[in-house]
Amino acid sequence: MAEMQAYVVSVFVASGLSEIDGRTMAASLVEADLRGTHSHGVIRLPFLVNRLLDGGAKRQPDIRVVNEAPGTALLDGDRALGAITATRAMDLAIEKARAQGIGFVTARNSDFIGTCAHYAMKALPHDMIGIAWTNGFPGMAPWGGRSNTIGNNPIAFAAPSLSHGPIVLDMALSVAAGGRIRLAAKNGEKIPHDWLVDSDGQPTDDPQALAAGGALLPLGYKGYGLAVFGEILCGVLTGSRILGEIPAWFKDTGSAIGNGHLHIAIDIARFVEPEAFKLRMDGLVSLLKATPLMPEVREILLPGERAWRTQQQQEKDGIAVPAPVAADLLALALRLGVTAPASFHSSSFDCTP
């Protein structure tokens, strides 16, 4: 992981970020790949660099607190890359939760933040429960609609356990995240027919249809309803852009995104002793896993369990990167005059601690 991390930091620094902000950005991307969420990992690096170089995001932002109370705050991201603003917001939420029991911090004037789980999980080392939510570019159709009018507005929850790893729910409110579909397009793969409709409103297995005017399908009417509240809490409440006011961060790289997000940290110790909470979590996991299985089902999995297993495996074996993504990273290194590690050529990165 150190090799990939160092490369990503060097790319961001060469693009104008400070060393600290470069490390913040690298942490968000590398953790996504480490946990197997490759749609939000280093595949996004060229787009984020373009946002810096084309002026859509600021290289040296002045992130500041606009309004603050003991348990709440509103940050202005000053057009920073989203992971930088989101990290500041989550750190502040944790600080407030330590003092007040709960911290509720929102951000405006931000950008694409990547995986919401990355921020929710920042609460775990502090014996806290973390929540992160963001709105974004409208790539999803509302329930019953056929055009991309609302964002898939992902949300994440993270809670610790004693011996089963963290319980982490990170989900877009579409059937499948747009990044997952773009990754399929990058790799020349087909997708299930219930993920996407094309520009004519017809179901399709072609991931290229999304970029050609198609729309993500919501996770039923319940997913659509949650997406609406994502717009309310992350957009309307924060004074951020909503719906069609938000441009495509990966396409309009010279335009400010201006979306919003929220971050909540809950101090477990204000309700129950943390070790007792974690022990009870282990009991919850055991009871769920003892459920009689349906035919063809091998085991009951908890939210985030597959990602936790992937992380443990890739910490030992390295993070595999598809050849098309590796080629993009090599081209980016050449473009910025950054040295690319030799392992890039083998389409995997040394993740040895």
Strand pairing class (102-108; 72-76): parallel
User: CB count, 10 Å around CB of 331?
Assistant: 12
How do residues 209-264 score in pLDDT, each as one tens digit? 988 888 999 999 999 999 999 999 999 999 999 999 999 998 899 999 999 999 99
DSSP-assigned states of every residue in 222-245? HHHHHHHHHIIIIIITTT---GGG
C-alpha to C-alpha distance for 108 and 256, rounded to whole angstroms: 12
Burial class (CB in 10 A: 0-12, 13-18, 19+), 6: middle
Three-state SS sequence of 274-339? HHHHHHHHHHHHHHHHCCCCCCCCCCCCCCCHHHHHHHHHHHHHCEECCHHHHHHHHHHHHHHCCC
Strand pairing class (261-267; 215-216): unpaired
8-state DSSP, 111:
-
Look at 338 and 342; give whichever has higher pLDDT.
338
**In CATH, what is the architecture of 1-54+302-353?**
Orthogonal Bundle (1.10)
Q: What is the largest CA-CA distance in the chain?
A: 57
8-state DSSP, 112:
-
Taking 80 as the threshold, does the pLDDT of residue 342 lie above it? no
pLDDT attached to residue 348: 46
Q: Please indicate whether the domains covering 1-54+302-353 and 61-174+218-270 agree at the CATH topology level.
A: no
Strand pairing class (102-108; 261-267): antiparallel
C-alpha to C-alpha distance for 124 and 136, rounded to whole angstroms: 26
End-to-end CA distance of the chain: 7
How do residues 276-329 score in pLDDT, each as one tens digit? 999 999 999 999 999 999 999 999 999 999 999 999 999 888 888 778 888 889
Domain map of the chain by residue range? Answer: 1-54+302-353, 61-174+218-270
Q: Residues 132-158: what's their mean pLDDT?
A: 94
How do residues 147-174 score in pLDDT, each as one tens digit? 899 999 999 999 999 998 999 999 999 9
| Both structure tokens of 303 | 């939210």
Share of residues in the chain with pLDDT > 70 (%): 97
Indicate the pLDDT class of residue 351, thresholds 50, 70 and 90: very low
Taking 70 as the threshold, does the pLDDT of residue 344 lie above it? no
| CATH of the structural domain 61-174+218-270, one choice from 3.40.50.620, 3.30.1370.60, 2.30.40.10, 3.10.129.10 | 3.30.1370.60
Predicted TM-score (pTM) of this structure: 0.91
Indicate the pLDDT class of residue 345, thresholds 50, 70 and 90: low
Give the HSE-up count for residue 207: Cα atoms under 13 Å, Cβ half-sphere.
17
**Residue 219 is which amino acid?**
L
